[in-house]
Chain A
Amino acid sequence: MSFLNNVITGISLGSIYAIIALGYTMVYGIAKMLNFAHGDVIMVGAYVCFFAMGSFNLPPVVGVLLAVVVCTVLGMVIERLAYKPLRAAPSLAVLITAIGVSYLLQNSAQILWGAATKTFRPIVEGSLTLVPGQLSVSYVAILSVVCCVVVMVGLTLFTGQTKMGKAMRACSEDKGAAQLMGIDVNATISMTFAIGSALAALAGVLMCSAYPVLSPTTGSMPGIRAFTAAVFGGIGSVPGALLGGILLGVIETFGKAYISTDLSDAVVFAVLIIVLLVRPAGLMGKYVPEKV
């Protein structure tokens, strides 16, 4: 029974990592940049939903939608002001700018909303009982797993079938060639950020529903974990992000339950290193050998 409990805990935790990792991997796959500010956009999304539901008593659905809209706009503004001027710059310059944006969002949030931790009211409450008193799954966990799968399928269809999606894939493959084919690379990348930020808002709301504390630094640690999950699954691969996130959650939980709670971080990262040594491009990433 405790094994099943751990599996459920692991998947619940993993689904949160996965939904953040989906946004991460989306931006990375197309814009080829590590957006370290992604975790902080999540935090902003959660705050927007928190105030919508807490201060204005709006229903959860409106709260989520509002968070999605605000984060999408925020994502596009950040992209326009901070990342777009750096299109031609080395990738590390963009990385540092993203870190700057991350600090900026954290500190602005603290000035605007204070440093004190707030308790987030979950958008859905309660849990589904499987075995009374022993085994139960929270509705938030079920919702986040469902969201993950829907988002993953949606993104796969979007990038595979629609014109915009194909343009994104073309940009990811070769920006120069895409431009020659008449694709507006700048607009495509801006669109990617809009989608990534919308996903971040969703992730923020789900994360804070599952683990209902909210402070200006809430996004930083899950941001790193999601980055790890995205790499684990093969960065740039949408199904990989889902798989990587879930596996990371399960490994973390099992590490805590069966190895040691003292060294849970070390266990997770050691497994990560071993996996990468065996599969250098992550679980679902394509290993492209360099050609001469």
Chain B
Amino acid sequence: MEKRLNGKRLSKASRSGFINYGIVIAAFALIQILLVVQKLLGVTLVSNSLQSLLVPTCCYIVMAVSLNLTVGILGELSLGHAGFMSLGAFSGIVASFLLADVIPFAPLRLALSMIVGAAFGAVGGVIVGVPVLRLQGDYLAIVTLAFGQIIKNIIMVLYVGVDEKGFHIAASSERFNLAEDGTAIIKGPMGAVGVTKLASFTAGFVLILITLVVVQNLVNSRSGRAIMALRDNRIAAESVGINTTKYKLMAFVTSAALAGAAGALFGLNYSSTVASKFDFNASILVLVFVVLGGLGSIRGSIIAAALLYVLPELLRQFGDIADYRMLVYAIVLILVMLATNNDQLKALVGRIIPKRKGAASHG
């Protein structure tokens, strides 16, 4: 590492990547320090409600970064990203339950559950990835939407449980012949209840770092350049011998696997999870993060996901406005979209920012 830093100037892309790691690590360290100070001094620095948002925020950051890989880097609109999260959440919950006796050490069990979640997400990614190869634009968007709905519908009628005879899985409660003393893990529309909470902020932090390593290295690699070439001009890319199937699938499956891992972490953060949580609106929520953060910008996704996930919760504290917080959220969404695409504002910002950059380089 040291040698490379001295030997060659870092490329712009990897410098930006290191800044992203820096931001995430700094944010994690800051929050940990605040929590420690809070404990020592007994004052409220990070409120209960902010603390409870830490893990889901991490999950949504991973969701946003992984969706950005599909939407921003590969350039295909996906409206079913929550479907992969759902697959990951429920497979992760089942895995953590089955592993409970074998591995008593919680962090390891959590890690394994997240790997299982990622694997299921990846399988889902392959299934959706196949139509991806044939369809484009809004037709692909509708297939991903359809996939999300199918996953939701199937998990909604799924019953999974264990008893002494082993593992049971059924598509309806009548066919679900679990012994009296068995434990049901997923109970159809009731979802998974009585989940042992394993998730922690540290695990979320590690997952974000892993996601950044995977996505940034992919984007800056030969494969990443091939993926972006497909986005910018598919025909030109094919004509120079880029394998469309391989690279599109690569981006799609990576994105799905990361979403699966995030789903597993999310599922293991609450004692109950239902399939209807991961619906069309959940997919749209993540898409909003990606678009507001800027297509193709990893840092933008991280910041937008963190701020926008927390925003509706913070609006609770406004007293009178709290009743209208979803309305405020909608208005903020529209205004931000209008402001970021306003030419005059862009020009204004353009005049301020180069100055700042110039000053920084002098200093």
Contact = CB atoms under 8 A, between A and B. Distances in A.
A272 B146 contact: yes
Given A273-B131, A292-B235, A82 B330 contact: no
Interface residues of A, number: 42
**Nearest 7 pairs of A and B residues by beta carbon:** A269-B146, A103-B330, A100-B333, A100-B334, A89-B341, A104-B330, A266-B153
B contact face: mostly helix, strand, loop, or mixed: helix
Interface string B69-89: 001000001000000000000
A194 B172 CA distance: 47
Contacts of B331: 100, 104
Nearest to B323: A111
B288 A96 contact: yes
Of A34, A97, A292, most buried by chain B (CB within 10 Å of CB) is A97
A97 B139 contact: no
B112 interface: no
Contacts of A101: 330, 334
30 contacts: A86-B337, A89-B341, A90-B295, A92-B287, A100-B330, A100-B333, A100-B334, A101-B334, A107-B326, A111-B324, A224-B145, A224-B280, A227-B142, A228-B142, A228-B146, A231-B142, A235-B138, A262-B157, A265-B150, A265-B152, A266-B150, A269-B147, A270-B146, A270-B150, A272-B146, A273-B143, A277-B135, A280-B136, A281-B139, A290-B234
Contacts of B239: 292
Nearest to B238: A292
B172 A93 contact: no
Interface of A: 28, 34, 82, 85-86, 88-90, 92-93, 95-97, 99-101, 103-104, 107-108, 111, 224, 227-228, 231, 235, 262-266, 269-270, 272-273, 276-277, 280-282, 290, 292
B327 to A, nearest CB: 4
Nearest to B146: A269
Nearest to B80: A269
A123 B72 CA distance: 47
Nearest to B135: A280
A262 B139 contact: no
Interface residues of B, number: 47
A contact face: mostly helix, strand, loop, or mixed: helix
Nearest to B290: A92
Contacts of B13: none
Contacts of A266: 149-150, 153-154
A86 B337 CA distance: 9
B242 interface: no
Contact of B145 (A82, A103, A228): A228
A250 B352 CA distance: 58
B275 to A, nearest CB: 11
Given A92-B291, A108-B327, A290 B172 contact: no
Contacts of A90: 295
Nearest to B326: A107
Interface string B116-146: 0000000000000001001110110111011
A282 B139 CA distance: 8
Contacts of B229: none
Contacts of A263: 153-154, 157
B292 interface: yes
A99 B288 contact: yes
A112 to B, nearest CB: 11
A103 B131 contact: no
Contacts of A228: 142, 145-146
Interface string B273-305: 000000010001001100110010000000000
B329 A95 contact: no
Interface string B149-175: 110111001000000000000011000
A276 B142 contact: yes
B338 interface: yes
B44 interface: no
B342 interface: yes
Interface string B322-348: 001011011101100110111100000
A96 B149 contact: no
A97 B134 CA distance: 29
